[in-house]
Amino acid sequence: MEQANSFLILFLAPIKEFLGDDDVSEILINGPNQVYVEKKGKLEKTSAVFPSEPALRAAASNIAKSVGRMLNDDNPRLDARLPDGSRVHAVIPPLARCGTVIAIRKFKKDTLSIEKMLSYGSVSEDGVLLIKALVALHKNVIVSGGTSSGKTSVLNALSSFISNNERVLVIEDASELQLQQEHAVCFETRKADKNGNGEVTIRDLIHSSLRLRPDRLVIGEIRGGEALDLLQALNTGHAGSMSTIHANTPLDCLFRLETCALLSGVEIPLMALRSQVASAIDAVVHTARLSDGSRKIIGISEVLPLKDGEYRTRDLIGWQTESIDADGKIHGQFVLKNRPTFEEQASILKIALPAYP
C-alpha cells in the first residue's frame, strides 16, 4: 500500500500539494493545462499543470493499474480509488475533448460531525433533535438532495446516532461512510472485469445482507433497481434503515424511489409500488447547496400514508431564507412547522423533541 502510494504520487506530483491539503475537497483536472480545486465549497483555478498530455495520461493509467484495471481505447472511462480512499473518475480522449479528464473526490479523514454541521449553520438544534428522534425511534429515513448537496455527510451524521449494540449492515458503491458503531459490517460493490464477469451490485449485496441478520441497513445511495429490494426489505422488518437519493424535494424523493424501483425490471402495478414506498419510508431529510455555497439540511418531512393514491408529506422543520447580502451570502433561519406524528411515541420513550409552539 505504502509502495503503491509513493509510486502513484510520482505521477501525480503536479497535484501533490492538493492531495495533501485537507481544505481541498475535490481536484478537477481538465487536460494537462487546467487544474481546478474545490476549497471550502468554492471552486478555484490553480496554476498547477502537467508536463504534457502523455504525462497526465500516464498518471491516469497508473491509477487504473493500481486497482487492477486498464484505461485504454477499449476502456476509456475509469472508476477507481487512490490508496487513501479518495474517489477517482477519469475519461480519456477522444471521449474527453481537452485531453485526459480526471476528477478526484478527496477522502475526508474526519467526516462532518453533527456538531460541526451545527457550528456551520447547516442545521439547527431543533433539526438535530428531530434527527436523533428519527434514529432512536427506528424510523426509515431517506436523505435526499442534489449532487454534492451533502447527502452522504448527513447520512453519516445520522448513522452516528445508531446505538452501539445494534448490528448495522452498510452497503456502498464506493466506501465513503465511516460508521463508528462497533457492530457495523461494511460491504462494497464490484464492477465487472474487462470480460464482463464478476459484477456484484447493490442489489446482490442487499440480498446477502438480509441473510446476515441485520438490525438496520445503511445503503450509501439508491440509483436504480435496488430501490425495490430496499423497499421490500423495509416492509418486512429492518426498521431504522437509511439511505440517500438524488431528488429535488421530499416529494420528488418518493417519486424517484418509485422510478428507481421500476428499473428493477420486476413487474409491479404502480399503485402497489406507491403504497410500498409510502409505507416503507417514514421520513425524508432534505439537503441542499445554497447559492452562496453553504450546505444545509433545508427540511425534514414525515411521509404519511397515501391518500387517493397520492403521496403526502408533513414538514416538521424547514429553512427560510430572509435576506441575501450584496456579496451573495444568504441569511435566514430554520422554522418549526408541523408537530411530528410520533410525538406520543417519543414522549413514552422519553426522547426529546423540539418545543413546538
Q: Interface mask (CB under 6 A) for ligand ADP, residues 120-139, using x and -?
A: x-x-----------------
> How long is the chain?
357
- Tell me the CA end-to-end span of the chain in Å, nearest whole number: 56
Cα torsion 235, 236, 239, 245: sign? negative
**Which residues face 264 on adjacent strands?**
none
Query: Is 112 among the residues that bind ligand ADP (CB under 6 A)?
Result: yes
147 binds ligand ADP (CB under 6 A): yes
Which residues inside 145-174 make contact with Mg ion, applying CB under 5 A? 151-152
Among 57, 81, 151, 256, contact with ligand ADP (rule: CB under 6 A): 151
| Cβ at position 49, least distance to ligand ADP in Å | 24
Amino acid identity, residue 49? V
Scan residues 273-302 and list those touching ligand ADP (CB under 6 A): 295
Q: Is 73 exposed, middle or buried (0-12, 13-18, 19+ CB in 10 A)?
A: exposed
Task: Decide: is 108 part of the binding site for ligand ADP (CB under 6 A).
Answer: yes
148 lies in the site for ligand ADP, by CB under 6 A: yes
Residue 356 interacts with ligand ADP (CB under 6 A): yes or no: no
Peptide bond into 51 cis (omega under 30): no
Residue 159 contacts ligand ADP per CB under 6 A? no
Instruction: Choose the one of ligand ADP, Mg ion, none that binds residue 47, judging by a C-beta under 5 to 8 angstroms depending on kind.
Output: none
Please report whether residue 145 would count as binding ligand ADP according to CB under 6 A.
yes
The tally of CA atoms less than 13 A away on the side-chain side of residue 355 is: 0
174 binds ligand ADP (CB under 6 A): no
The answer to whether the CB of 209 falls within 8 A of the CB of 189 is no
* Strand residue runs (E) in the chain: 24-30, 35-39, 42-45, 77-81, 87-91, 101-105, 141-145, 168-172, 184-188, 216-222, 242-246, 283-289, 295-307, 310-324, 330-336
Q: Indicate whether 249 belongs to the interface with ligand ADP (CB under 6 A).
A: no
Kindly identify the residues of this chain, within the stretch 267-296, that bind Mg ion according to CB under 5 A: none
Task: State how far the Cα of 116 lies from the Cα of 71, in Å rounded to an integer.
Answer: 39
Q: Indicate whether 122 belongs to the interface with Mg ion (CB under 5 A).
A: no
**Is the CB of 147 or the CB of 197 nearer to ligand ADP?**
147
245/273 with CB nearer ligand ADP: 245
112 binds, among Mg ion, ligand ADP, none (CB under 5 to 8 A by kind): ligand ADP
Positions that interact with ligand ADP (CB under 6 A): 25, 41, 108, 112, 117, 120, 122, 145, 147-153, 295
Positions that interact with Mg ion (CB under 5 A): 151-152
